[in-house]
Structure 1
Amino acid sequence: MKVFHGSTAEIQYPLANIGRENLDFGKGFYVTDIYNQAERWASVMMLRRPGTIATINIYELNIEKISSANYRSLHFDGYGNDWLDFIVDSRRGKKPWLGYDLIEGGVANDRIFDTIENYIEGQITKEVALGRLQYEQPNNQICLLNQQLIDECLSFEQSITLK
């Protein structure tokens, strides 16, 4: 499976334990199978870090090897109840991602951020939040949480500098 990582640098050797812990799926290396999503993220990162260049890193993720090696993975289909509970727990610092090697599912991006925050703050019920989320088409993210999985199953192909 071809996957992409939007950044401000070429990353030939990704690391699993870099970044913030309270992200959607924890402290890992995030990729997506949606090129445009990586492109948007690279542009956002470039704006946050003046003087840098938006870069798309392209990798091959060996899904068959991940399955046959019995890595522990979790997959969320859409913005459902389990996904919402997981995201909220992550944001509250509960680390629900511990024990997983790979987690795949929708991105808690700007389109749905307010719904999640309103739910966390108790301004809306879970049912209202899920009702709003059902109309959103999730982007896809894959969080690689295990360095051995990255080393064995993720192969750098190239990077593209955006103009």
Structure 2
Amino acid sequence: MLLYHGSRHGIDGPIAPLSRDRCDFGRGFYLGTEPLQPLTLICDFPDARFYTVELDLDGLDVRELSADATWALVVAYHRGKMEQARGTTLYAETAAALEGADVAIGPIANDRMFVVLDRFFNGDITDVALIKSLSALQLGNQVVALTQAACDAVRIVDERSLSEDERTELIATSEANRAEGVALAERICREHRREGHFFDEILEAGVPLG
């Protein structure tokens, strides 16, 4: 499986699942199916390195998430947005969605989706509006090596730095994509503002454990 990774300062030492905790699928080594995604994340950093890698999924526990409400809740859980639902079946099921997995695969929540996700978490839009926005933006998937076993299955194929001109162009592309994505999502959210459920409604509907 050919994938892409961006690093602000380059990979130093063995690949390991050492991202920050509050990432979409938890701590891991994050990869993308589309090269532009990691490139736009690192283009502000002069020492950034861009990697093309291969991931061998053979023998690994792989969990795939679709662009649906389950994906949104898994992201919410790992970003610490579900604490008010702790003790419910919904919370337990969401927490267990990636439990024991070596690799998680699911839609990317990049800078074009951050605004929409925050609006969902803040109760401004429904789950239907969120998912339709995600589907319309077609951002590709992120593939996350969650365990050391998965990280050991990653092989670096190519590594390169970014020129100043390339970084400047990528910054402009990122800003343009963000504006375009937010505008598209805003239109979709207006069209579907009366459909689906708000985040607090979903959490309140969780069935208490026990």
The reply to whether TM is greater than 0.5 is yes
Range of TM-score over shorter length: 0.7 to 0.9
Q: Which structure has more helix as a fraction of its residues?
A: 2
Runs of 4+ displaced beyond 6 Å: none
Identity between Structure 1 and Structure 2 (%): 25
Unmatched 5+ stretches in structure 1: 47-51
1:38-57 matches, within 5 Å, as 38-44=38-44, 46=45, 52-57=46-51
- Under a length normalisation based on structure 2, what TM-score does the superposition of the two structures give? 0.63
Count of matched residue pairs: 149
* Cα contact 1:2–1:60 (8 A) shared by 2: yes
Q: CA RMSD in A?
A: 2.0
Distance 2:158 2:135 in 1: 36
Distance 2:15 2:139 in 1: 25
Compared with structure 1, are the counterparts of its residues 57 and 131 closer, same or farther at alpha carbon in structure 2 (3 Å cutoff)?
A: closer
TM value normalised by structure 1: 0.79
Could you report, residue by residue, the CA deviation over 1:72-123 in whole angstroms, capped at 9, with x for unpaired residues?
Answer: 221123x222211211121126655332210011111121212211111122
Q: Which has the bigger relative contact order, CA under 8 A and spacing at least 6?
A: 1
Task: Note closer, same or farther for the CA distance 1:135–1:33 as it changes in structure 2 (3 Å cut).
Answer: closer
Please list every run of 5 or more consecutive structure 2 residues that lacks an aligned counterpart in the other structure.
83-94, 164-210
Instruction: Report the counterpart of residue 24 of structure 2 in structure 1.
Output: 24
State the alpha-carbon separation in 2 of the partners of residues 35 and 26 from structure 1. 21
The structure that has the greater radius of gyration is 2
Pick aligned residue for 2:62 from 68, 73, 76: 73
The alpha-carbon deviation at position 134 of structure 1 amounts to 3.5
Q: Deviations over 1:103-158 (max 9, x none)?
A: 0111111212122111111222223333433322122211101102221x211233
Tell me, yes or no, if structure 1 residue 91 matches structure 2 residue 92. Answer: no
Asked if 1 retains the 8 angstrom alpha-carbon contact of 2:81 and 2:121, the reply is: no
Which protein is richer in strand relative to its size?
A: 1
For the residue of structure 1 that corresponds to 2:151, the secondary structure is: helix
C-alpha distance in 1, partners of 2:137/2:150? 31
| Structure 1 residue aligned with 2:162 | 162
